[in-house]
Amino acid sequence: MTATTDGSTGALPPRAAAATDSTTAQSSTAPRSTTARPPLAEGEAPGALAAAERATARAAEHLLSLQDEQGWWKGDLETNVTMDAEDLLLRQFLGVQDEETTRAAALYIRSEQRPDGTWATFLGGPGELSTTIEAYVALRLAGDAPDAPHMAAASAWIREQGGIAASRVFTRIWLALFGWWKWEDLPELPPEIMFLPKWFPLNLYDFGQWARQTIVPLTVVSAKRPVRPAPFPLDELHTDPARPNPPRPLAPAASWDGAFQRLDAALHHYRRFPLRRLRRLALQQAARWIIERQENDGCWGGIQPPAVYSIIALHLLGYDLDHPVLREGLNSLDRFAVRREDGSRMIEACQSPVWDTCLATIALADAGVAPDHPALVKAADWMLDEQIDRTGDWAVRRPGLTPGGWAFEFHNDTYPDIDDTAEVVLALKRVRHPDPARVETAVRRAARWNLGMQSKNGAWGAFDADNTSTLPNRLPFCDFGEVVDPPSADVTAHVVEMLAFLGERHDPRTRRGVEWLLAEQEESGAWFGRWGVNYVYGTGSVLPALVAAGIPASHPAIRRAVRWLEAVQNDDGGWGEDLRSYRDAEWIGRGTSTASQTAWALMALLAAGEREGKAVERGVAWLVDTQRPDGSWDEPHFTGTGFPWDFSINYHLYRQVFPLTALGRYVHGELFTPDRLEA
């Protein structure tokens, strides 16, 4: 499957306005309201509401046109060029590179270079050292000369930043594969970690699922320390080629950094004299662990980084490239490639069909599309088929819990996530399905699973319960972003909202989630956004959940959040927040207005009863004014979060689903609420 750059799958052309029968014609064109339109607010211009209605209809029709014939939606998932650079490095390491793939990847990498010669991790962001190094090396592999102007600018900047020695561990691992860095100068990651009991600090399940899937194959790579012949030197990327890794003083022994540095030194010593039988058993256990978690499509966890490292690890353990496990693994990587009109090739770190489909279903339903519309029923059928009925790593901390969640991707039965599960339930409850008993069974299984994944503090993380150890982030090896999965406000809010819609707002477990959310509110009135940028996302997630759970709009926490949203609204009427808000408080709530972030703010304000407020009026006007003629919005900015600051995402369907949701709720008022459902 290959996606297109406008967020569509390319699988279907836009639907024709005319239909072949009266039923289809009624439901496949403009949305029809299922409730009486709310009266005009005092002073509200009829033309403004009419413009919002027209924008809603155009947006719904555009979103309907993007649905795949199987019922799902999927937009491009854009991250940064390390995905593309590492894809080329992997092909070089395995000896499977080809001219066309290399050319297309290099074309994309060059297109993302900034004028100063660097590469960033998000649009408008600063140059990032490791990303720039990996992009530079990939272009060298593609044949770009080091003295070419764009390459010389990159290498000069890299040296100014401290060279390869200052890059993150993962970058230096890739370079070590070709002898461009010494394995001895990397943190040790012994495969014997596989045998640490689940109660022991730093055991495998203390890491978040994304880190866990990456660490296991890297223990094999660390143990094997392979080196392929380097096709060229990289002296130009060192501040001093004669001393590429100048010594650094150890941190004080009493500090965490100092303690882990000394532990790493001990592990390096152990590597020279390992218990050979234990090492052999550990490598066998790692291989078994990796193979058991390969998905039906050949990938691992539905995400690209673990797939890349798993392929390398198994190859080092003797699996040849024709072995079914590796053959399917390599084939799966091609499905992460997005071909663009200019001939370039972008690699997605992950694919988001379940997430996109449930959000699209919610958006269309809230925009007034009939609940029995064929597109919504087809989406529901596809989501129902994707429900996971087998246990995964989450069962380590919740043994005996019956499965019932949904994952993010096409194929990922090992790692369902709590966030997707909550949103799929909210989507399914909006559809009038011809088999309501099937839907109800799936919803109850999902709710039971999500409730079982509640952490001890009353909140929810993304993939695991109580994944809250602070030690993994302190390891010298773990400098590539967040590696644990503690509860977050946005995920907890979505679960609370789901429970409220299921009539469980008075359940003690729901109330604990509400209490946790209220306690997590920042002094400013906002909530931190773990999986979206940032406080606008967190606040946009929490307010609808609190109101759905029965917190009145007059509650002090709601009023503080409203005041904060009003205070950070841009002069143009929209909302935006730059990713730098994760590091710099000056950026909190500040940034170029975007369609998705404006929609999040509007969804929060509408939930808080502010439909008649000036901020909502200006925000709706911004969405109406910036809509493109085809009903879509343009959004080059990154508003999704993988790891706060370290890994940012531009979900290409966010620009469509969230504005449509906000406009639909504005136009139709309380179209779909827990109270209406219970009634």
**Taking the CB of residue 174, how many other CB atoms lie within 10 A of it?**
23
Collect the ranges in the chain with pLDDT lower than 50. 1-37, 678-679
pLDDT at residue 410, rounded to an integer: 93
End residue of a domain, out of 347, 363, 395: 347
Asked if residue 647 belongs to a domain, the reply is yes
User: Please, are residues 529 and 492 in contact by the beta-carbon 8 Å criterion?
Assistant: no
Query: Residue 614 contacts by C-beta under 8 Å, 6 or more apart in sequence?
Result: none
Domain membership flag for residue 8: no
* The pLDDT of residue 18: 29
- Tell me if residue 189 falls in helix, strand or coil: coil
Residues 309 and 363 in one domain: no
Residues 377-412 have pLDDT tens digits of 999 999 999 999 999 999 999 999 999 999 999 989
What's the pLDDT at 44?
53
Look at phi and psi of residue 230 and say left if phi exceeds 0, alpha if psi is from -120 to 50, else beta: beta
Q: Is 4 a domain residue?
A: no
Tokens 């080091």 correspond to: 146
Write out the two tokens for 575: 């909302």
Domain for residue 23, yes or no? Answer: no
Q: Do residues 195 and 265 share a domain? A: yes
518 lies in the same domain as 596: yes
Tell me, letter by letter, the H, E, C secondary structure of 227-272. CCCCCCCCHHHCCCCCCCCCCCCCCCCCCHHHHHHHHHHHHHHHHH
Domain total in the chain: 2
Residue with tokens 């590796």: 326
Give the pLDDT confidence of 187-204 residue by residue, as tens digits.
999 999 999 999 999 999
Q: Are 108 and 204 found together in one domain?
A: yes
Residue-wise pLDDT for 593-648, tens only, equals: 999 999 999 999 999 999 999 999 999 999 999 999 999 999 999 999 999 999 99
Which pTM does this prediction carry?
Answer: 0.91
Angle between helices 209-224 and 276-292 (to 10 degrees): 140
- Render pLDDT for 18-44 as a digit per residue (tens, 0 to 9): 233 333 333 333 444 334 445 555 555
Report how far apart, in Å, the C-alpha atoms of 250 and of each of 161, 169, 266, 675 are: 21, 17, 14, 60
Annotated active-site positions, please?
419
Distance of alpha carbon 142 from alpha carbon 158, whole angstroms: 19
Q: Are residues 400 and 341 in the same domain?
A: no
> Among 417, 419, 351, which Cα is nearest to 73's?
351
Residues 343 and 276 in one domain: yes
* 69 and 147 together in one domain: no
278 and 408 belong to one structural domain: no
Specify the pLDDT at position 12. Answer: 28
Tell me whether residue 57 is in a domain: yes
Q: Tokens in use for 217?
A: 């194959």
- Residue 493 sits in a domain whose CATH number is 1.50.10.20
Query: Do residues 312 and 427 share a domain?
Result: no
The residue among 347, 379, 395 that closes a domain is 347
Residue 335 lies in a domain: yes
What are the backbone angles phi and psi of residue 641, rounded to the nearest 5°? Answer: -125, 125
- Provide the residue range defining the domain that includes 146: 80-243+252-347
Question: Which tokens in the block code for residue 56?
Answer: 């809603």
Residues 373 and 392 in one domain: yes
- Which one of 305, 323, 347 terminates a domain? 347
The verdict on 360 and 282 lying in the same domain is no
Strand partners, 544: none
Q: How far is CA 149 from CA 88, 142, 154, 238, 623, in A?
A: 22, 16, 9, 18, 41
Domain annotation covers residue 21: no
Residue 102 shares a structural domain with residue 219: yes
Please indicate, yes or no, if residue 35 is contained in any of the structural domains. Answer: no
Cα 309 from Cα 216, distance rounded (Å): 9
Closest CA to 248 of 258, 259, 234, 263: 258
